[in-house]
Chains A and B, each alone.
Chain A
């Protein structure tokens, strides 16, 4: 039973069509990458999955229900999103930021209990953020902030984790650690993961399935070997590439030709 089912989704901002006739499914144990040029609708697609945007036509199912049938808090317990960046106008402690992930599980007048703190603790251990729990969020580096935001998403205890360019600000060590973490969550906790990235090799090496978006439509969908081809890259990105096999695990590897 797939955890996300999108059927012929259409969506437009004002008059401009951003997503057209998009259909795909995401299974529980799957890592799905969404790639595509700037403005191809990747972020919009993520927002359609977590219900903060509703399709103009077509159906988006998360779990058993259509996204428009969910209350905001209810869907926030199923789907968590890690944004690219958050503005930090007011100084919050890192721990407070992660605790906010518990919001969808709490009533208005209820304080967090031991269980909530335990979940937050775990989320911070997994993301390696415990060291700066008592520091202020706005004083952290971009990479550290990104990890805190991931911890907050994990504290939501979702079934689906959406990531919008989350590796963009991470250095190599943390990028690797982060991908290992994602795979762990995916394999051990059965968390479905959908990530948007510009790094095609990263997608090719780590995703089970890749969705290649082009002008709001799905240009190609399938396993990395099916999607990452010199022809697809030429047509979508208008660049010449060489695709060969990664020496370690034989996943497709792309090299830019100049």
Chain B
């Protein structure tokens, strides 16, 4: 799995509007690994300051969104849940946009915080609307609610984008389809930090996720402190998702495809599912982003287009056979 990830990264480094041959790339990587970071040619500059950060970022975003999918699917006991389908990504994007429009973005951490609030509000909305009847959560009602929330927030995002003529907002597709090319190195660092800390904390809850999947009643009987565990998982997951969304926009469907494929291969134990999903999610988004960069050279597609083109049919396929 790790190997797959590195091979993909390597291929992705080589491909792009400027083609770099594998030998040159290997030599350059060797140089970097031995500690000599001197950039001598234009190609090396492209690798080091354009492609490498972007690939890292794609990896981080893919991993976070897949983890988000795993956790939400477990909490809602529904294999079709994911941060995008449930509207959590758009809620968080809306939060970020409100931050920019209102000027709150000029405060330190203003935008990520508002993105986080957007994500949390969406989660609460989901639980309030779908709550009441306990059985409703396992049902497809929840997905319907998510779709509605998603449509509403997307409309709100478009509304804000049309009334404001700000430079930062000029690209609508950035928010609606996701874009991995905008994040600065330090922002990538923040996202990577969130991923690592988030993963370690989530991993400690893996066994509890296994039990929660067995039904809340069962989890309670076997000793899971649900009143504390559930909010903690929701907040933690919303937090890492919102950081990623505020930097990369909305990228859909990864959270569905990745955990499902991993479940087919490795089974449902979350102690395996969390790390493999993170790794595979990272690989998947690196691949999708590479395709997005290469397919229309020299122009680029938003990466969300690729993930949605693969993900939407997959979603329908899953919905159809539901059996799992």
Contact among A75, A87, A92, A101 with B268 in the assembled complex (CB-CB below 8 Å): A92
- Report yes or no: A81 in contact with B221, Cβ–Cβ below 8 A: yes
In the complex, A52 has a CB within 8 A of chain B: yes
Stretch in B12-20, B148-156, B204-212, B284-292 touching the partner:
B204-212
- Report yes or no: B225 in contact with A71, Cβ–Cβ below 8 A: yes
In the complex, A186 has a CB within 8 A of chain B: no
Chain B proximity of A132: nearest CB distance (Å) = 15
- Report yes or no: B211 in contact with A90, Cβ–Cβ below 8 A: no
Contact among A50, A71, A93, A106 with B221 in the assembled complex (CB-CB below 8 Å): A50
- Report yes or no: A83 in contact with B218, Cβ–Cβ below 8 A: yes
CA distance A147 to B138 in the complex (A): 25
- Report yes or no: A72 in contact with B267, Cβ–Cβ below 8 A: no
Q: Report B-chain residues with C-beta under 8 Å of the C-beta of A141.
A: none
In the complex, A76 has a CB within 8 A of chain B: yes
With A83-B217, A86-B218, A109-B204 as contacts: A72 and B225 at CB distance below 8 Å: yes
In the complex, A113 has a CB within 8 A of chain B: no
Contact among B205, B220, B222, B263 with A90 in the assembled complex (CB-CB below 8 Å): B263
Q: Report A-chain residues with C-beta under 8 Å of the C-beta of B211.
A: 100, 103
Interface size class of B (residues with CB under 8 A): 20 to 34
Contact among A77, A97, A103 with B207 in the assembled complex (CB-CB below 8 Å): A103
CA distance A250 to B93 in the complex (A): 73
- Report yes or no: A108 in contact with B207, Cβ–Cβ below 8 A: yes
CA distance A156 to B218 in the complex (A): 13
Q: Report A-chain residues with C-beta under 8 Å of the C-beta of B100.
A: none
- Report yes or no: A156 in contact with B214, Cβ–Cβ below 8 A: no
Chain A proximity of B197: nearest CB distance (Å) = 15
Contact among B204, B207, B223, B324 with A76 in the assembled complex (CB-CB below 8 Å): B223
In the complex, B95 has a CB within 8 A of chain A: no
Q: Report A-chain residues with C-beta under 8 Å of the C-beta of B215.
A: 86-87
In the complex, B224 has a CB within 8 A of chain A: yes
- Report yes or no: B138 in contact with A87, Cβ–Cβ below 8 A: yes
Q: Report B-chain residues with C-beta under 8 Å of the C-beta of A1.
A: none
In the complex, B10 has a CB within 8 A of chain A: no
In the complex, A91 has a CB within 8 A of chain B: yes
- Report yes or no: A90 in contact with B324, Cβ–Cβ below 8 A: yes
- Report yes or no: B222 in contact with A156, Cβ–Cβ below 8 A: yes
Chain B proximity of A210: nearest CB distance (Å) = 24
With A91-B324, A96-B267, A109-B203 as contacts: A83 and B222 at CB distance below 8 Å: no
Q: Report A-chain residues with C-beta under 8 Å of the C-beta of B223.
A: 72-77, 103-104
In the complex, B230 has a CB within 8 A of chain A: no
In the complex, A172 has a CB within 8 A of chain B: no
In the complex, B302 has a CB within 8 A of chain A: no
Q: Report A-chain residues with C-beta under 8 Å of the C-beta of B218.
A: 83, 86
Q: Which of A82-139 contact B (CB under 8 A)?
A: 83, 86-87, 89-93, 96-97, 100-101, 103-104, 106, 108-109, 111
Q: Which residue of B lies closest to A136 (CB)?
A: B267
In the complex, B249 has a CB within 8 A of chain A: no
Q: Report B-chain residues with C-beta under 8 Å of the C-beta of A103.
A: 207-208, 211, 222-224
* Best-surrounded residue of A80, A81, A87 (most CB of chain B within 10 A): A87
Chain A proximity of B65: nearest CB distance (Å) = 19
CA distance A213 to B77 in the complex (A): 34
- Report yes or no: B268 in contact with A91, Cβ–Cβ below 8 A: yes
- Report yes or no: B79 in contact with A52, Cβ–Cβ below 8 A: no
With A90-B263, A108-B204 as contacts: A101 and B222 at CB distance below 8 Å: yes
Q: Which residue of A lies closest to B264 (CB)?
A: A91
CA distance A90 to B220 in the complex (A): 18
- Report yes or no: B222 in contact with A89, Cβ–Cβ below 8 A: no
CA distance A229 to B203 in the complex (A): 56
- Report yes or no: A83 in contact with B225, Cβ–Cβ below 8 A: no
In the complex, B173 has a CB within 8 A of chain A: no
- Report yes or no: A52 in contact with B205, Cβ–Cβ below 8 A: no
Q: Report A-chain residues with C-beta under 8 Å of the C-beta of B79.
A: 89-90
CA distance A101 to B269 in the complex (A): 14
In the complex, B78 has a CB within 8 A of chain A: yes
6 pairs of residues in contact across A and B, judged by CB atoms under 8 Å: A89-B79, A89-B324, A92-B213, A100-B210, A100-B222, A103-B222
Q: Which 8 A-B pairs have the closest CB atoms?
A: A76-B223, A104-B223, A108-B204, A73-B223, A90-B268, A72-B225, A81-B221, A72-B223
Which residues of B are at the interface with A, using a C-beta cutoff of 8 A?
Answer: 77-79, 138, 203-205, 207-208, 210-211, 213-215, 217-218, 220-225, 263, 267-269, 271, 324
